[in-house]
Amino acid sequence: MERDSSPSDQFHRYKNLIQNGDNPDITKERQGASFNLYNMQCFVYENDHKLQRRQEILEFVESHREFDDPVHPHFLNRDEQIDRATRKCLAMVDNLDAIDVTDYFDEAPLYQLLTIGRELHCLSLHYGMFLPTIQVHTEKSLILGPFQMAASKAILGTFAQTELGHGSNLSKLETTATYDATTKEFVIHTPTMSAGKWWPGGLGKSANYAAVMAQLYTSGESKGPHLFMVQLRDNAHAPLPGVTVGDIGPKLGNNANDNGFLIFDHYRIPRRNMFMKYSKVEADGTYIPPPHAKLGFGAMVLVRLLMIRDQTCQLGAAAVIAIRYSAVRHSAVRQGEINEGEGEVQILDYRTQQYRLLPQLARSFPSSQRMRSRNSTSKYVTKQINNNANMELLPELHALSSGLKAVITWEVAQGIEQLRLSCGGHGYSRASAFPDMYAYAVGGCTYEGENIVMLLQVARFLMMIAKEVRSGNPKLAEIAEYIAKPDAVTARISSWKTCSDEDIIHDFEAVTRKLIFATFDRLTTLERTMKKKEAWNACSIDLCKAARMHVKTYLVKNFLARVRTCEDPASRTVMHTLAKLYAFDLISGGGGHFMKGGFLSEKQFNEVQLGIYEMLAAIRPDSVALADSWAISDLELRSVLGRRDGNVYPALLEWAQQSPLNQN
Ligand SMILES: CCCCCCCCCCCCCCCC(=O)SCCNC(=O)CCNC(=O)[C@H](O)C(C)(C)COP(=O)(O)OP(=O)(O)OC[C@H]1O[C@@H](n2cnc3c(N)ncnc32)[C@H](O)[C@@H]1OP(=O)(O)O
Ligand SMILES: Cc1cc2nc3c(=O)[nH]c(=O)nc-3n(C[C@H](O)[C@H](O)[C@H](O)COP(=O)(O)OP(=O)(O)OC[C@H]3O[C@@H](n4cnc5c(N)ncnc54)[C@H](O)[C@@H]3O)c2cc1C
């Protein structure tokens, strides 16, 4: 008997049968949009220049063969993944000038996503933290040398702070840097096993330098954690004597990045290798403290701000995938019928599906847009600090960057998981891109400051403000002005169609204020009978809740404010509904806080719920176009389910063809 045709032959037969232009369901969705896509995209990306740059970068990457993937990266083992990412990374960097990517917040992450994807790479920390550390912490007169060397990749660096034994608690780091005034050197040493550096990205194989955080000792005194520029490997890339270094093995995600470990044995570096912009050790060992104790943590603040934008884009991309897929599932065999006899519906028509998708889509917009103005705030603050003029803004920036980082990374990770589930079985396949997105995003909940630890930093700031308000002499940062407003007795929220932005903001501010003062009162009461730190620990769950609510209020206010700037009326109408959906969904999720003390009546709560259902129905016809407004190309999305043309099934077959198990 003649043998069956190979899986490959069969696959091509199906492919020819199915693939024929865009999926008609998705085309119909696009045709039904109530707004002009280009106008909306210009609003989302602030202006058409940014949109145009996205397109230019995409075309540049697509036209360069060195960025092609001969084998889909999902089918590679870890060595092959690292090899692929490293090759692509070098090509990416070699072409930086040609495509002129200079914008760190928008263009650089896009360029990286298009060329490499979400696996990170050997230079992630070099660009993500080493260069920013040099920028933030090197004296002006000395910056050119190291910066040029790092920028030109003559040296490749990482940021080595976390140790086996301590990550969050920086004051207890154990690596030491002891100044030897006789040789004018620092001796870097790992005194215990738990002092070994653990986690720095790119350390395992790639970096030959590191910005190392170590406890400074000079003239026999401990001066706390400080940063040092340390060479780790020689020109042949072998570890230098006194340095032991390696890879820490596979992780949940980011596996093309060689996160590493690092141990020092009385390793000597010149005095000038201490980053001395803010604090100094003179040749004789005299220590000069910084103008603000926490200036040494400045690079982390900058990277937390970078992360917010980067992470939000992941949620946007996940929403694009799930919405497009929901519009095409099932064009041939539909899941069920809403009205018997009228045929089956797209899964996007199920109210439960809309409830899974659209609040996540709404959530993806405010955070990304906020970041753009945070970018300028951070530049402003950095300038003030560089001029040694104004340290007053530092606590505000620290609180805001920590809070946004904690709330957004959590919401992004949760949102991606919810969107993955909404795609049923196919969401579980790596072809969907959800597993890689989730693994990438959820890392952000931990690195650059564990989220709970970050929320507790925000809470410190809020408790300080509450104390000032209670003392009647507050000096309020802009982000905290509402905390001094008079108490509000009842909520103003009403039907989503009639309630104003001011009503929504009023209620969010009132509830957050109550939460902050209730926590403050509990804390001060406990402090009467407990040590301060014990009282803080006893209140820490409430402290986190108050911090989260403060950040959410900030996001709601800014989303509504941003929508008001939209010049195109049709886009503004849809975005306004999306902003209200975002706010109502938060109220619904945090109902306990809103209903406490009868602030929000049961009737109002019911209006909130009903409002959500009505807004889902109102947004439904625009959902695919709203997903398109993220202007994410297929190359950036890297998802079989989220393809722009909606031809999911042939693409899934094609993807599965590449599995090594199908090769023989
Ligand atoms: C190509 C481009 C791609 C772009 C795409 C982006 C992605 C790019 C990929 C990155 C890939 C992964 C990169 C991971 C890289 C790491 O993970 S590096 C390691 C990061 N580690 C951390 O973040 C550790 C977290 N821990 C901390 O930050 C600090 O220890 C803590 C938690 C803030 C506490 O600090 P502490 O000094 O022990 O605490 P304490 O003495 O209690 O002092 C607190 C006081 O200091 C203040 N304070 C603390 N920190 C600060 C600060 N930073 N500023 C100002 N004040 C501060 C507080 O406000 C507080 O003030 P008061 O209330 O007393 O007035
Ligand atoms: C993918 C990835 C990449 C990384 N890259 C780098 C890098 O390049 N360079 C680098 O130096 N580090 C890096 N890290 C390490 C990262 O910065 C730390 O893991 C992070 O700061 C948390 O520290 P930890 O792991 O010690 O957690 P811990 O601090 O041990 O936290 C464990 C638990 O204890 C809780 N906890 C800790 N302190 C408190 C507190 N005061 N109050 C209440 N709860 C508390 C936390 O909330 C958490 O639940 C990376 C980590 C990951 C996952």
pLDDT for 389: 47
Q: Is 311 in the pocket of ligand 1 (CB under 6 A)?
A: no
Q: Which pair of tokens denotes residue 117? A: 């994807």
Q: Give whole-number Cα distances, 639 to 285, 622, 633, in Å.
A: 57, 21, 10
Q: What mean pLDDT do residues 415-441 have? A: 97
Does one domain contain both 275 and 395?
no
Look up the CATH number of the domain holding residue 247. Answer: 2.40.110.10
The pair phi, psi for residue 247, each rounded to 5°, is -90, 145
| Residue 280: its H or E element | strand 280-281
What rounded mean pLDDT belongs to the chain?
91
Q: What mean pLDDT do residues 313-319 have? A: 96
CA separation for the pair 462, 430 (Å, rounded): 42
Does one domain contain both 284 and 321?
no
Å from CA of 449 to ligand 1 middle: 6
Å from CA of 88 to ligand 2 middle: 29
State the greatest distance between any 2 C-alpha atoms of the chain, in Å, as a whole number: 93
Q: Hey, which residues does 159 pair with through a beta bridge? A: 211
Whether the pLDDT of residue 334 is over 50: the answer is no
Q: What mean pLDDT do residues 141-159 have? A: 84
Q: Which residue is listed with tokens 């104790």?
A: 293
The pair phi, psi for residue 406, each rounded to 5°, is -70, -45
Which residue minimizes the CA distance to atom 59 of ligand 1?
395
The annotated binding site for FAD is made up of: 162, 201
Which amino acids bring their CB within 6 angstroms of ligand 2? 125, 158-162, 166-168, 199-201, 254, 259, 443, 446-447, 449-450, 452-453, 456
**Local confidence band at 369 (pLDDT 50, 70, 90 cut-offs):** low
Tell me if 224 is assigned to some domain: yes
Å from CA of 70 to ligand 1 middle: 41
pLDDT for 339: 61
Does one domain contain both 178 and 321?
no
Å from CA of 35 to ligand 2 middle: 44
Ligand 1 mutation pick, 124, 129, 294, 452, max ligand atoms within 8 A of CB: 294
Q: Please report which residue ranges of 212-254 form alpha helices under DSSP H.
A: none
Radius of gyration of the chain (CA): 27
- Can you give the residue range of the structural domain that contains 318? 298-472+499-627
Tell me the ipTM for this assembly.
0.97
Does one domain contain both 259 and 321?
no
Q: What mean pLDDT do residues 247-254 have? A: 96
Does one domain contain both 268 and 306?
no
Does one domain contain both 382 and 531?
yes
CA separation for the pair 404, 371 (Å, rounded): 9
Q: What mean pLDDT do residues 388-394 have? A: 67
Å from CA of 300 to ligand 1 middle: 6
Task: Count up the domains in the chain and report the number.
Answer: 2
Does one domain contain both 284 and 331?
no
Q: Which ligand does the CA of 382 lie closest to?
A: 1
| Residue 268: its H or E element | strand 267-270
Q: Is 307 in the pocket of ligand 1 (CB under 6 A)?
A: yes
pLDDT for 172: 97
Tens of pLDDT along 533-550?
A: 999 999 999 999 999 999
Q: Mark which of 222, 256, 290 sits at the end of a domain.
A: 290
Q: What mean pLDDT do residues 176-181 have? A: 98
Whether the pLDDT of residue 276 is over 90: the answer is yes
Tell me if 124 is assigned to some domain: no
Does one domain contain both 345 and 226?
no
pLDDT for 477: 80
Q: Mark which of 256, 290, 324 sits at the end of a domain.
A: 290
Which residue minimizes the CA distance to atom 20 of ligand 1?
448
Q: What mean pLDDT do residues 170-188 have? A: 98
SS3 259: coil
Whether the pLDDT of residue 199 is over 60: the answer is yes
Count of positions (residues) in the chain: 664
DSSP states of 392-453: THHHHHHHHHHHHHHHHHHHHHHHHHHHHHTTGGGGGSGGGSHHHHHHHHHHTTTTTS-HHH
pLDDT > 70 in the chain, percent: 91
Burial of 342 per CB tally in 10 Å (0-12, 13-18, 19+) = exposed
pLDDT for 147: 72
Tell me if 269 is assigned to some domain: yes
Q: Angle formed by the axes of helices 451-471 and 501-527, to 10°?
A: 90
Q: Is 162 in the pocket of ligand 1 (CB under 6 A)?
A: yes
State the distance between the two ends of the chain, measured CA to CA, in whole angstroms.
Answer: 20
- Where b means 16+ CB within 10 Å and e means fewer, 393-418 reads bbbbbbbbbbbbbbbbbbbbbbbbbb
448 a catalytic residue: yes
Best CA proximity match to 444, nearest among 313, 269, 276? 313
Å from CA of 401 to ligand 1 middle: 9
Whether the pLDDT of residue 453 is over 50: the answer is yes
Does one domain contain both 259 and 284?
yes
CA separation for the pair 281, 416 (Å, rounded): 47
Does one domain contain both 374 and 268?
no
Q: Is 198 in the pocket of ligand 1 (CB under 6 A)?
A: no
The annotated binding site is made up of: 162, 201
**Local confidence band at 376 (pLDDT 50, 70, 90 cut-offs):** low
CA separation for the pair 591, 443 (Å, rounded): 29
Do strands 260-264 and 197-198 pair parallel, antiparallel, or not at all (unpaired)? antiparallel
**Local confidence band at 97 (pLDDT 50, 70, 90 cut-offs):** confident
Candidate ranges 17-26, 108-117, 421-430, 654-663; pick with highest mean pLDDT: 421-430
Does one domain contain both 183 and 286?
yes
Query: How does DSSP classify residue 537?
Result: H
**Local confidence band at 8 (pLDDT 50, 70, 90 cut-offs):** low
Min mean pLDDT across 380-384, 595-599, 644-648 is at 380-384
**Local confidence band at 368 (pLDDT 50, 70, 90 cut-offs):** low
CA separation for the pair 107, 346 (Å, rounded): 35
Q: Which residue is listed with tokens 């890297």?
A: 638
pLDDT for 148: 81
Which residue minimizes the CA distance to atom 8 of ligand 1?
128
Which residue minimizes the CA distance to atom 16 of ligand 2?
447
How many CB atoms are closer than 10 A to CB 89? Answer: 22
Catalytic: which of 163, 448, 607, 636?
448
Ligand 2 mutation pick, 172, 450, 548, max ligand atoms within 8 A of CB: 450
**Local confidence band at 273 (pLDDT 50, 70, 90 cut-offs):** very high
How many CB atoms are closer than 10 A to CB 116? Answer: 24
Give the residue with greater pLDDT, 10 vs 238.
238
